[in-house]
């Protein structure tokens, strides 16, 4: 007998309310395209779910370049929610995901409650091939985008309450960290009927080009992601988990399996890999493998056993 | 399609000019499948796990099928390239590639290649490709000084006599910019010519202005900051030509474009 008794019967499945995942590792919206782009690098069926690039009612061209800039241990981006629009998504992108049997979460964004509702109604026609809808109430990039809703509990409540009425598809609300008190926003999402919350989205930030004496990003402000934001994200996941009863999906700078374990210990039921996929497209699988190994070695039979009480 | 994502060893690393280096990497499958104009993403993280965070895009400057190597040509411009310049042969680098859409390989009529600054890298690859296929092309290469050009040509086995060279300081070839010899070339050709170019944005714009209506096709290789290099992040947007607000993505739609399709 070795010193460490490894478990062979661990259960990686997680339930986020009505959302069932084969394991807790998901790919974050905006870092995995519409899934297919990643296939040479990652077996999408091996991970919990893919959250596709945020979809709006109409196609969006995105922001003028430069759209990205590297900062110490971080990535600043102002893509501007470029996407093909819901119509093209349903005809050109979703059929492939469906054919492959990939667990697909559709991230959506809108400029009004009405737009969120319409998007949810349209997506409901494909409810068989959509595992969940993730509502972006937090993306800080587009001036007229989701910022206003996610900034306040009232705004968050308003959007969520309306979308849960129009669709049977489970709703995940993706929270912005650019708020004074994350717990009140998390509670508002829960009160409005959200099935789960995911956090954090990127942190509003900027960089300046000192030679040209102007902001570096075409959009002036961008969202910061990557290892630099992990400690902030972890703190917010900890707080949110203790403020609500619905499941929390941890996001923010997760780059290694150890990071994933930290988020799960903080109270997340699942995690999303974002910037790490951009750095190394196969990251999610490595993180899943490392997490599985850790759970076996330490004797954690299921994901939520990792929670710190 | 072959796409590699693994650690590859540095075989050759030499400084060929002030802050300009040639790097040879052991990557037999990349060497075998790479096409002129394609690029690779190279991880420059040393012992520090996350800094610098992103891999850097580099044009493939040429390949060596016998040795199973690819070569890149770079200038130290920031932290990433500074770190890269300190790596010794034998070091492993994270390499992802070959990526992107390269230059058109089959073209009719006369062919002129124009490379400026570090933009000579994919032009050297294309020129060697054309020569190896038994075809011919006029190749104009420009740089600030002669040193870096000489170093790159020597390392890539291109004879000085085969190409037209311009340097800004006049230390090698003709003094001035690549547009000088290009203008002369264009005076003597019919309409069925193709120009394939890579270099700084002002050079590409000048080449486009000069060649307007005089050639059948102008292909330009563009560059941009990139995060992923494979079309995931949409960070490397470049404006399409036309009135509508639309963008191409350099990593996936390019890096080589028909100059009529993009704003230069």
User: What's the rounded Cα separation, in Å, for the pair B27 and B76?
Assistant: 23
User: What's the rounded Cα separation, in Å, for the pair B219 and B255?
Assistant: 10
A269 touches chain B (CB under 8 A): no
Q: How many CA atoms lie within 13 A of A62 on its CB side?
A: 30
Q: What is the pLDDT of residue A5?
A: 61
A208 touches chain B (CB under 8 A): no
Q: Which residue shows structure tokens 């399609």?
A: B1
Contact status, residue B178 vs residue B140, Cβ threshold 8 Å: yes
State whether residue B185 is helix, strand or coil. Answer: helix
Query: In this complex, do A280 and B94 lie within 8 Å of one another by their Cβ atoms?
Result: yes
A31 touches chain B (CB under 8 A): yes
Range(s) of chain B covered by CATH 2.10.240.10: 223-264
Q: Which residue shows structure tokens 């070091």?
A: B91
Tell me, what's the ipTM? 0.92
**CB nearest to A278's CB, from B94, B228, B237:** B228
State whether residue A59 is helix, strand or coil. Answer: coil
Query: In this complex, do A77 and B55 lie within 8 Å of one another by their Cβ atoms?
Result: no
Beta strand B138-143 pairing with B110-116: parallel
| Residue B250 pLDDT greater than 50, yes or no | yes
- Per-residue pLDDT tens over the stretch A223-259: 999 999 999 999 999 999 999 999 999 999 999 999 9
**What DSSP element (H or E) covers B221?**
strand B217-221
Per domain, the residue ranges of chain A are: 14-63+80-207+224-306
When pLDDT is averaged across residues B176-204 and rounded to a whole number, the result is: 92
Q: What is the pLDDT of residue A148?
A: 67
Q: Which fold has domain B110-221?
A: Rossmann fold (3.40.50)
- Per-residue pLDDT tens over the stretch A63-85: 999 999 999 999 999 999 999 99
| Residue B46 pLDDT greater than 80, yes or no | no
Interior CA angle at A112 toward A108 and A117, to 5°? 55
| Residue A145 pLDDT greater than 60, yes or no | no
Residue from B83, B232, B240 whose CB has the most chain A CBs within 10 Å, to mutate:
B232
Q: Where are the alpha helices (DSSP H) in B137-214?
A: 146-156, 179-187, 201-211
Kindly indicate the confidence band of residue A7, based on its pLDDT and cuts at 50, 70 and 90. low
User: What's the rounded Cα separation, in Å, for the pair A251 and A200?
Assistant: 5
Lowest-pLDDT choice from A7-21, A49-63, A267-281: A7-21
Backbone φ and ψ of A250, nearest 5°: -90, 130
User: What's the rounded Cα separation, in Å, for the pair B191 and B125?
Assistant: 25
Range(s) of chain B covered by CATH 3.40.50.80: 110-221
Domain B223-264, CATH: 2.10.240.10
Q: Which residue of B has its CA nearest to A254?
A: B50
Range(s) of chain B covered by CATH 2.40.30.10: 4-99
Pick the CATH number of A14-63+80-207+224-306 from 3.30.300.180, 3.90.79.10, 3.20.20.70, 3.40.605.10: 3.20.20.70
Q: Which CATH architecture has domain B4-99?
A: Beta Barrel (2.40)
How far apart are the CA of B48 and the nearest CA of chain A, in angstroms? 10
Which has the closest alpha carbon to B207: B127, B114, B136, B104? B114
When pLDDT is averaged across residues A256-281 and rounded to a whole number, the result is: 97
**Chain A residues touching residue B227 (CB < 8 angstroms):** 68, 70, 75, 77, 275, 278-279
């Amino acid at each position: 007998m070795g010193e460490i008794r490894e478990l062979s019967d661990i259960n990686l499945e997680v339930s986020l309310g009505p959302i069932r995942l084969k394991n807790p590792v998901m790919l974050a919206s905006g870092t995995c395209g519409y899934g297919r782009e990643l296939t040479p690098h990652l077996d999408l069926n091996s991970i919990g779910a893919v959250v596709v690039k945020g979809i709006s009612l109409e196609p969006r061209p995105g922001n003028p370049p430069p759209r990205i800039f590297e900062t110490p241990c971080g990535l600043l981006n102002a893509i501007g929610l470029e996407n093909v629009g819901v119509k093209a998504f349903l005809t050109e992108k979703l059929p492939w995901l469906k054919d492959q049997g990939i667990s697909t979460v559709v991230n959506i964004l809108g400029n009004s409650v009405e737009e969120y509702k319409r998007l949810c109604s349209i997506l409901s026609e494909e409810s068989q091939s959509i595992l969940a809808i993730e509502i972006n109430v937090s993306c800080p990039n587009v001036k007229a985008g989701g910022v206003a809703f996610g900034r306040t509990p009232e705004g968050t409540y308003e959007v969520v309450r309306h979308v849960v009425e129009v669709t049977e598809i489970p709703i995940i609300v993706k929270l912005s960290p650019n708020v004074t008190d994350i717990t009140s926003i998390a509670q508002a999402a829960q009160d409005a009927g959200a099935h789960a919350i995911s956090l954090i989205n990127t942190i509003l930030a900027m960089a300046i080009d000192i030679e040209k004496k102007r902001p570096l990003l075409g959009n002036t402000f961008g969202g910061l992601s990557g290892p630099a934001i992990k400690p902030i994200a972890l703190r917010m996941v900890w707080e949110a988990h203790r403020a609500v009863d619905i499941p929390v999906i941890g996001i923010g700078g997760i780059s290694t399996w150890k990071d994933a374990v930290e988020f799960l210990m903080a109270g997340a039921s699942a995690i999303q890999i974002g910037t790490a996929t951009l750095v190394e497209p196969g990251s999610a699988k490595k993180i899943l493998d490392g997490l599985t190994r850790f759970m076996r070695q330490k004797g954690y039979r299921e994901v939520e056993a990792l929670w710190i009480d | 399609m072959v796409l590699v994502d693994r650690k590859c060893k540095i075989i050759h690393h030499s400084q060929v000019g002030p802050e300009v280096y040639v790097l040879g990497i052991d990557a037999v499958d990349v060497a075998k499948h790479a096409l002129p104009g394609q690029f690779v993403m190279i991880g420059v993280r040393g012992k520090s796990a996350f800094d610098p965070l992103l891999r850097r895009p580099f044009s493939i400057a040429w390949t060596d099928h016998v040795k199973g190597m690819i070569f890149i040509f770079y200038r130290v411009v920031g932290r990433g390239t500074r770190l890269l310049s300190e790596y010794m042969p034998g070091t492993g680098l994270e390499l992802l590639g070959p990526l992107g859409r390269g230059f058109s390989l089959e073209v009719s009529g006369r062919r002129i290649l124009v490379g400026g600054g570090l933009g000579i890298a994919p032009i050297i690859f294309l020129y060697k490709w054309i020569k190896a296929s038994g075809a011919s092309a006029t190749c104009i290469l420009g740089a600030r000084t002669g040193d870096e050009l000489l170093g790159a040509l020597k390392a890539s086995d291109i004879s000085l006599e085969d190409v037209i060279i311009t340097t800004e300081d006049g230390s090698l070839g003709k003094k001035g910019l690549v547009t000088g010899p290009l203008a002369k070339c264009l005076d003597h050709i019919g309409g069925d010519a193709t120009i394939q170019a890579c270099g700084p944005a002002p050079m590409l714009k000048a080449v486009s202005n000069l060649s307007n209506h005089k050639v059948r096709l102008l292909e330009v290789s563009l560059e941009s900051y990139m995060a992923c290099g494979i079309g995931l992040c949409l960070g490397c947007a470049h404006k399409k030509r036309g009135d509508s607000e639309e963008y191409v993505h350099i990593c996936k739609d390019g890096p080589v474009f028909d100059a009529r399709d993009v704003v230069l």
